[in-house]
């Protein structure tokens, strides 16, 4: 498993880009004004990550995502995403991609963001991530190595990005 992670990290670094290789205005803004900013942790993030025990780099990436999208709520269960009534951005956080079939049946809203942790830790996880990227409703997918992000933006052409953070 460690060897696989090392090989995929090298492959990721060789094929990923920074903001200069991004041609989508939505993703460019997200990378430059979100991912690459020094951020303060939000109260919502502190409460959420306390149980996850993430490394500092991964906490910083999540904090930047939360702050950029001004996350209204974190949903740990896909069924709760359907029943959530607030109109702000909502993140469905998946700590383990083992059971990913439900992602194909999510309510597709431009305010829903799926964050999948540990997509590069095992070959099976990486294959499942690539399968999710093929979903026609997932218009923007971003591989950050530590996390995979799925956006359902009906106004945008389908694109996949690998971004170094």
Nearest-angstrom CA–CA distance, 84 and 86: 6
162 - beta bridge partners? 143
Q: Which residue has the tokens 């041609």?
A: 23
Per-residue confidence at 131, pLDDT binned at 50, 70, 90?
A: confident
**Residue pair 68/163 in contact by the 8 Å Cβ criterion:** no
Return the higher-pLDDT residue of 55 and 82.
55
In the predicted model, what is the mean pLDDT of the chain? 82
Return the higher-pLDDT residue of 76 and 149.
149
Nearest-angstrom CA–CA distance, 52 and 23: 33
Give the pLDDT confidence score for residue 142 in this predicted structure.
Answer: 96
Q: Locate 98 and state its tokens.
A: 């083992």
Q: Which residue has the tokens 């099976």?
A: 124
Range of lowest pLDDT (38-42, 52-56, 129-133, 158-162) = 38-42
| Percent of all residues in the chain with a pLDDT value above 90, rounded to a whole number | 19
pLDDT tens-digit profile of 69-124? 888 778 777 666 666 666 678 888 888 776 666 666 665 677 788 899 989 988 88
Return the higher-pLDDT residue of 150 and 153.
150
Nearest-angstrom CA–CA distance, 82 and 80: 5
Is the entire prediction scored with pTM above 0.75? yes
| Percent of all residues in the chain with a pLDDT value above 70, rounded to a whole number | 80
Give the pLDDT confidence score for residue 75 in this predicted structure.
Answer: 79
Give the CA diameter of the chain: 44
Q: What are phi and psi of 146, to 5 degrees?
A: -75, -35
3-state helix, strand, coil in the chain (%, to 5): 45, 20, 40
**Residue pair 19/31 in contact by the 8 Å Cβ criterion:** yes
């Amino acid at each position: 498993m460690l060897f696989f992670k090392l090989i995929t990290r090298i492959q990721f670094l060789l094929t990923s880009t920074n903001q200069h290789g991004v041609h989508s205005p939505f993703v460019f803004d997200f990378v430059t004004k979100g991912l690459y900013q020094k951020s303060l942790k939000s109260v919502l993030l502190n409460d959420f990550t306390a149980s996850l025990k993430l490394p500092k780099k991964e906490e910083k990436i999540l904090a930047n995502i939360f702050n950029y999208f001004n996350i209204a709520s974190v949903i740990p269960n896909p069924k709760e995403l359907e029943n959530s009534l607030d109109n702000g951005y909502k993140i469905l956080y998946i700590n383990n991609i083992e059971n990913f079939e439900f992602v194909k049946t999510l309510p597709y809203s431009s305010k829903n963001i799926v964050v999948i942790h540990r997509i590069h830790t095992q070959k099976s996880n990486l294959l499942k991530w690539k399968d999710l990227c093929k979903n026609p409703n997932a218009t923007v997918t971003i591989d950050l190595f530590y996390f995979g992000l799925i956006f359902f933006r009906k106004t945008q052409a389908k694109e996949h990005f690998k971004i170094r953070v």
